[in-house]
Amino acid sequence: AIRAAQLGKTTAVVESDKAGGRCLNYACIPAKTMLHTAEVFDEAKNSAYIGVKVEGAELDWEALGQRRTDVSASLSGGVKGLFDRNKIKFIEGEGSLTAEGEVKVGDATYGAEKIILATGSTAQAIPGVEFSDRVLDTWAAWSLPEQPKKIAVVGAGASGSEIASAYIRFGTEVILVEMLDQILPAEDKDVVRVVERTFKKQGIEISTGTPVENVEVGSDSVKFTYGENSAEVDYLVIAGGRKPDIDGLGLDAAGVKLDENGRVQVDEFQKTSNEKIYAIGDLTRGAALAHKAMEEGIVAAESAAGADTHPVDLDLVPGATFCQPQVASVGLTEAQAKEKGLDIKTGKLKLGGVGAGTVYDDKDGMVKLVVEKEYGEIVGAHIVGDRACDMIAELVAVMALEGGIQELQRIMHPHPTISEAVLDAARAVDKWATHA
C-alpha cells in the first residue's frame, strides 16, 4: 500500500483487525519479543562464569505479557502513522471480491483499477485433532495467560523450534515431536546437528520420525502418544504448517484461479488469472515468510502502477529461525544440491575458530557454504549461532549480486567479529582458511 501511494496511486487498505496484520500483532513480532525475554532470563541465570552474578532472577509472566502487547501496539501504531502520512485510507472490515472485480466490505462496495490480495494464512491442525483451549496454534502459544509447567510442540520447523526454545528457557518442560527424520527439516543436516545437541543440553526432549496419536483433551491437560511413548501436558501446541486464508474471499466470483497446491496462482509480477488482481505472501507459492510477502507486495504495487519492477527470486528467500542457537540459510542444502546433480564443494568453519566466537561464547556455531565447483557460484549458505539471523543478509547480497566464492574470499571483514567466520568459511571451500 505504501509503495503504491509513493507511486502516486490513491490507495486504501481493507483490514478486519489491527494495522500491521497478523505477523506484527500475533506472530513474528510477539514471538521475537518472547524469545528476547527468554534470552535475557537465561543469561541472567547463567552468567556467573563471565563475572556477572544475578541472585534470584525471576520471570514475571504478567510483565512479559504486557511488554509483548506494548511492542505490537507500538509497531501497529507506527504502521497506522505511515498510512496517514501517505494518505492511505484504512477501511475496517472483512473484504471480499465481487464478480465485477470490486471489493465488498460490509454494506459498502469499493471500485479500484487494481487490487492486491494479502490475507495471509491460517494454522492447520493435525488429522483428528481440533484446536481448543488446550490444543493451541502457534499464535495462542505465544500469548498464554500463565506459564505452563509442561508443553508438547508438534512440528519442529521454524515456529515449533522457536516455541520449544523459548519455553525451555522460561523453565517449562518441553517435548518437541517431529514426523520427519530431523528437527528443522528444511535446514542442512550439519546445522541441525548443532541445534539438536544444544536443545538436548537445554533439556528439550526431542522425538523425530514420530507421529502424535491418541490425543485426549481434558479440562486442564492433554494426553497423547508418540511412537512408543505417552505423555500428559498442560498444552499441546500444533506447529505443523499453515494454509492460505482464502475462505470468503470470493476468488471464484472474481475468476481468480488456484494452483495444484491450493494457493493463488500468480505470475512473476504477482498477477493472478484476473488481470486487475494481484496476490502476495502466504496466499501464493513459496515459503510463508513475512519478508517474502513484503518484497512481493512491492513488486505487485509497482507492476500494478505500471512502474519498472524486478520479480522476487524465490531461490534467494532467506530463512531465519530465532531459536537458541539461531539458524539462518539461503539457497540449497548440501543434500539438495547433490539431488539436483550439481558438482559441488563445501566450506565449513566453526564460530569458535574466530576470536569473537570465544569472546561471546558462541563457539559451537558454524558457517557452511555450498559452492558449484566449475565457476565458484555459491548455491547455498547456512549459519547456526547466536547472531545467525543478522549474518545471513551478507550472503543473500553476495548471491543476489552474482558474486562467486572467489569474490567473497577477498572481502575484508572487521575484527574481532563473528562475521569473520563467513570469510574463512569461504576460504575453507578452497582449503585456505586461516582459522581452521
Domain 325-429 homologous superfamily, CATH: FAD/NAD-linked reductase, C-terminal dimerisation domain (3.30.390.30)
Q: What is the dihedral of CA 252, 254, 258, 262, to 10 degrees?
A: -60
Same fold, 2-121+243-315 and 135-240: yes
Domain ranges of the chain: 2-121+243-315, 135-240, 325-429
Averaged pLDDT for residues 398-416: 98
- What pLDDT, on the 0 to 100 scale, is given for residue 371? 99
Pairing verdict, β 150-154 and 235-238:
parallel
Percent above pLDDT 90 for the chain: 99
Burial class (CB in 10 A: 0-12, 13-18, 19+), 62: exposed
Averaged pLDDT for residues 373-389: 98
Q: How far apart are CA 278 and CA 304, in angstroms?
A: 8
Distances in Å between the Cα of 283 and the Cα atoms of 125, 264, 271, 293 are 18, 6, 12, 9
Taking alpha carbons only, the member of 42, 8, 347 closest to residue 168 is 42
Q: Active site includes 36?
A: no
- What pLDDT, on the 0 to 100 scale, is given for residue 138? 97
Q: How far apart are CA 417 and CA 408, in angstroms?
A: 16
Burial class (CB in 10 A: 0-12, 13-18, 19+), 317: middle
The pTM score is 0.97
- Kindly report whether the peptide bond that precedes residue 325 is cis, defined as omega within 30 degrees of 0: yes
- What pLDDT, on the 0 to 100 scale, is given for residue 241? 84
pLDDT at 132 over 90: yes
Give per-residue burial for 238-277: e unless 16+ CB within 10 Å, then b.
Answer: bbbebebbbeebbbeebebebeeeebbbbeebbbbebeeb
C-alpha 96 chain-centroid distance: 28
Outline where DSSP puts E strands in 58-143.
Answer: 89-92, 95-97, 103-105, 108-110, 115-117, 121-123, 135-136
pLDDT at 273 over 90: yes
pLDDT at 86 over 90: yes
Given 36, 382, 413, 415, the catalytic residue: 415
Q: How far apart are CA 174 and CA 249, in angstroms?
A: 38
What is the CATH code of the structural domain delimited by 135-240?
3.50.50.60
Pick the CATH number of 2-121+243-315 from 3.30.420.40, 3.20.20.220, 3.50.50.60, 2.30.110.10: 3.50.50.60
Tens of pLDDT along 220-243?
999 999 999 999 999 999 998 899
The residue type at 411 = I
The residue type at 277 = I
Percent above pLDDT 70 for the chain: 100
The residue type at 179 = M
Tens of pLDDT along 27-76?
999 999 999 999 999 999 999 999 999 999 999 999 999 999 999 999 99
